[in-house]
Amino acid sequence: MALKHVEEYRDSEIAKKLIERIHETSTKDFKVMEVCGTHTMSIFKNGIRDVLPDTVSLISGPGCPVCVTAQKDICAFIDIARMENTIVTLFGDLMKVPGGDSTLMLERANGADVRIVYSALDSIKIAQENPDKKVVFLGVGFETTAPTIAASIQAASKMGLKNFFVYTAHKLVPPALEVLMNTEGVKIDGFLLPGHVLLISGTDEYVPFVEKYKIPTVVGGFEPVDILHAMLMMIQQFEEGKGTLENAYQRAVSAEGNVIAKNAMYDVFETSTAIWRGIGPIPESGLSINDKYKEFDASIALGLDVKEVDEPKGCACGAILTGLMSPPDCKLFKKVCTPINPIGPCMVSNEGTCAAFYKYHV
Amino acid sequence: MCLAIPSKIVEINEAGLGIIDVDGVKRDCSLLMIDSPQIGDYVIVHAGFALHKIDEVEAGKMLDTLREVAFYSQGLEPDKKE
Ligand code: SF4
């Protein structure tokens, strides 16, 4: 059975034509940042880098949730896993990120109860089944993930669950774009925005940013045709000296986004300053659990003392996430740092730029 | 972490939970975050929640525009692929 809403966007005839249009249109050097790790992976997997003209260069941005998680949060995850009577639940890609001298994978091998879940709701089930244990969900992710975590906290509250907690390291995308535009040395001519983040936030949220910086900005889906279409739109804008916000992913992204999801998110969370790996603190870019739901906040309930921790020595993830460096520029890349023995999170996550370069490139 | 493949709703229960089908694989999915889900709807699912219902009309229009953009400058018929 053909996959509906997918096959059409993998059509090689349309893709070929879009590539031709891109070659016809692009005359000036254009540096575009694909903000999100899912785009990075799709671009590599579909060989899109190889078919674009030499004028177009791609930089992978800070939109891989694991990659931007601060070292202090990773260390806190490991501390939680080491606590007595505790079950840690998480999405799988956090397992191998090194924090201090350990990873969650190692902790599990040493007897910690660490369980990969598919949805935060699974953690609730685990909490119900283990009333004498504390169940702590480790939450990382952007606007796409945060509402699902919020919904699980709302559900736990409704059920009166007393043994379910969330450690939140969730982040919002727009404040990070703002920082990128103001970082010394960073030069970006256009942004490919992640469809799945905007599916929640809606395009309206990005209007102030695009109006301020007047930079070609296009929301794209994740199939090859979606990406090429968005690229073409950005390049057309750039060539015409325009800098507006366009949507190449209308089947999923609207102006207002998913209001139900946003309401859930802001019922449970409030914005706060978050530390982004390699970038540093960004005001209003994090989501903390608000007073109404604070009994579910793992940092409070477990009395965590989360201290600043240095990032791994020699790891250039920060410079890579801001487009200042490319993975092969990192001295550790492929020599010391590999997917089997990752030094930084950009090599760990499936969506990490270093992992993508390792898998598909040099 | 993002699942980009739209899934079809094949079952819905009263609690707002549903079963979705992704290319023959069935999974549980919360439908609480979308408006009036119906069996047969295509939804975008992330971390166990349907987060968007695909608007068939919009999707069709967009595809037409896309074909026009792609095939236009050589004067090819945009609907050559039908
Ligand atoms: S190759 Fe490894 S050490 Fe270098 S930046 Fe990437 S993750 Fe960090």
Contact status of A148 with chain B (Cβ, < 8 Å): yes
Cβ neighbors of B65 (< 8 A, separation 6 or more) are: none
Residue ranges of B 20-79 with Cβ closer than 8 A to chain A? 23-24, 27-28, 30, 32-35, 42, 44, 46-49, 51-52, 54-55, 58-59, 61-63, 66-67, 69-71, 73-74
Integer Cα distance of A94 and A72 in angstroms: 14
Indicate whether residue A58 lines ligand 1 (CB < 6 A).
no
Strands B7-12 vs B42-46: parallel, antiparallel or unpaired: antiparallel
Domain ranges for chain A, please list them: 71-172+258-301
Nearest CA among A81, A135, A93 for reference residue A118: A93
Each residue's pLDDT tens digit, B34-79: 999 999 999 999 889 999 998 888 778 888 888 888 887 554 444 4
Integer Cα distance of A96 and A105 in angstroms: 6
Kindly provide the ipTM of the predicted complex, given to two decimals: 0.86
Indicate whether residue A218 lines ligand 1 (CB < 6 A).
no
pLDDT in tens, chain A (362 residues): 467 777 778 888 889 999 999 999 999 999 999 998 888 888 988 899 999 999 999 988 888 888 889 989 999 999 999 999 999 999 988 898 888 889 999 999 999 999 999 899 999 999 999 999 999 999 999 999 999 999 999 999 999 999 999 999 999 999 999 999 998 888 899 999 999 999 999 999 999 999 999 999 999 998 899 999 999 999 999 999 999 999 999 888 999 999 999 999 999 999 999 999 878 899 999 999 999 999 999 999 998 888 888 878 889 988 888 888 899 999 999 999 998 888 888 888 878 889 989 988 75
Integer Cα distance of A74 and B67 in angstroms: 46
Total number of domains in chain B = 1
Question: Could you tell me if residue B13 is inside a domain?
Answer: yes
Would you state the pLDDT for residue A332?
Answer: 94
Looking at domain A71-172+258-301, its CATH superfamily turns out to be HypD, alpha/beta domain 2 (3.40.50.11740)
Tell me the residue length of chain A. 362
Distance (Å) from the C-alpha of residue A111 to the closest C-alpha of chain B?
Answer: 26
Indicate whether residue A315 lines ligand 1 (CB < 6 A).
yes
The CATH number linked to B62 is 2.30.30.140
φ, ψ of residue A232 to 5 degrees: the values are -60, -45
Range of the domain at B63: 5-73
Would you state the pLDDT for residue A205?
Answer: 96
3-state secondary structure of A208: helix
Backbone CA torsion sign across A201, A202, A204, A209: positive
Question: Could you tell me if residue B46 is inside a domain?
Answer: yes
Residue A106 vs residues A87, A103, A109, A111, A334: alpha-carbon distances, Å: 15, 5, 5, 9, 22
Write out the DSSP string of A24-81. HH--S-EEEEEEEHHHHHHHHHTTHHHHS-TTEEEEEEEE-TTTTB-HHHHHHHHHHH
Write out the DSSP string of A108-163. HHTT-EEEE-SSHHHHHHHHHH-TTSEEEEEEEE-TTTHHHHHHHHHHHHHHT-SS
Question: Could you tell me if residue B37 is inside a domain?
Answer: yes
